[in-house]
Each structure stands twice: as structure tokens, then as C-alpha cells.
Amino acid sequence: MTPTPSASRLLCALLLAAATEAPADNLFVNPPEPVGPSSITEAEPWQEGAVRVPPPPQDANLVEFEIDGPAGPFRYYIDTQSLAAGADGVVRYTVVVQGRGSARNIAYEGIRCTPKGEYRVYAFGAGNRFTPSGETDWLPITSLAHELYRKDLWQHHLCIPREFKPRPKRDMIRSLRGAIAPHENRGFQAD
């Protein structure tokens, strides 16, 4: 049976009316599904806390640590008095880098326990005081020879592997002294 011209016009008018209905009135349009579970909320952006530069290190508070790889021309020390993890998750410390038989280089730095590690230098030591380094950005920790100590601090001593958060200070010092069992340092992947 062929529809009559008036029935065809009526059918077209009904289809046109249905197509112009608001989506809320259309029973054939489903509301969009949420992108993720409702329990997921937007994270607060990370903000660095206030930084107070400590006094210069005293020799009695220095702990020497060795870096991975062949013995180089430098010895590395961390001042245990300045070593601290802030509420912002940054581990701050004074590092002393001393050439064998030469002068000392002293810096107050911070490391973030992120998956690839980041560091920042806050001040350099000269004489009996620190001089601010100026506004510096957070930089990635690399495998460059002059930065190997930072990589070792991040990878082996200051951060908990796989959790990407600072170790307790007691464990940081134990690790620097070589008293952390090797299985406690597993988890970071090589670059």
C-alpha cells in the first residue's frame, strides 16, 4: 500500500518535529556518561613551602656517602643537621663536595621524590655563610658526571622507591651511612 500525498506530508512533519525536539524531551537520547568515577576529584596543584637556609655545616655533622660508579676525584658529604623533608614533600639538605686535597664546594639544595626526580639549588656556601642562588627553577636530575651525587641521593638515600615520597630522616641517615639493606632500595627504573 502506497501512502497518499497527505499521509507522506504528515509523516515528514512528524519526523521533522521529532528531529527538532530538545534532547531532554527526546526519549532516544541518553545523557552523557561521566568521564570517570565520581570519587575522583581534581588535584590541588603542588606548591613549594617556605625555605629557610640553615647555618653552614659543622664537620661533626657531616656524613660521607659514596656514589655509584668508579671512584672520582670528589668526596661527598651531607650535613645531618640541615637534612629534612618538608610538608611539601621536598627533601632539603646541605651538600659538601670536596676535591681530594682541594677546597670545598657547599650548597643548600632540595630534591623532589618524583618519578624522574627534580632538584633545586637554594644557596651556595662561601666562607662561613650562604649566598642565595637567586630564583632557580626545578630541574630534572640527570646522569651527567657532575650531577651523579644528586641521582644517587634521589635514587638510593632520600626517597622511598616506588612510593615517590621522602624516607623518614632516620632512614635517610642510615642509608647514607650504608646501613639500608639492598632490597630496600629496589624499585627505581634506569633511564
Eight-class DSSP state of 146: G
Q: For the range 186-191, what are the long-range contacts, defined as Cβ-Cβ under 8 Å and sequence gap of 24 or more?
A: 186/161, 187/161, 187/162, 188/155, 188/161, 188/162, 191/116, 191/143
Which structural domain range is residue 125 located in?
59-185
Q: With respect to residue 103, please indicate whether it lies within any of the assigned structural domains.
A: yes
Are 83 and 91 in contact by the 8 Å Cβ rule? The answer is yes
Q: How many domains does the chain have?
A: 1
What is residue 40's predicted lDDT score, i.e. its pLDDT? 75
Q: With respect to residue 162, please indicate whether it lies within any of the assigned structural domains.
A: yes
The segments of the chain whose pLDDT lies below 70 read 1-8, 10-28, 71, 181-191
- Nine cell digits for residue 87: 610538608
Q: With respect to residue 100, please indicate whether it lies within any of the assigned structural domains.
A: yes
Q: With respect to residue 178, please indicate whether it lies within any of the assigned structural domains.
A: yes
Q: What pLDDT digit, counting tens, does each position of 10-37 carry?
A: 666 666 665 555 555 666 677 777 777 7
The answer for 128, left when phi > 0, alpha when psi is -120 to 50, beta otherwise, is alpha
Distance (Å, rounded) from C-alpha 172 to C-alpha 97? 18
What is residue 14's predicted lDDT score, i.e. its pLDDT? 61
Q: With respect to residue 24, please indicate whether it lies within any of the assigned structural domains.
A: no
Q: With respect to residue 12, please indicate whether it lies within any of the assigned structural domains.
A: no
What is residue 83's predicted lDDT score, i.e. its pLDDT? 97
What is residue 77's predicted lDDT score, i.e. its pLDDT? 95
What is residue 121's predicted lDDT score, i.e. its pLDDT? 96
What is residue 190's predicted lDDT score, i.e. its pLDDT? 47
Q: With respect to residue 22, please indicate whether it lies within any of the assigned structural domains.
A: no
What is residue 112's predicted lDDT score, i.e. its pLDDT? 96
What is residue 1's predicted lDDT score, i.e. its pLDDT? 57
Are 176 and 76 in contact by the 8 Å Cβ rule? The answer is no
Q: With respect to residue 44, please indicate whether it lies within any of the assigned structural domains.
A: no
Distance (Å, rounded) from C-alpha 1 to C-alpha 8? 12
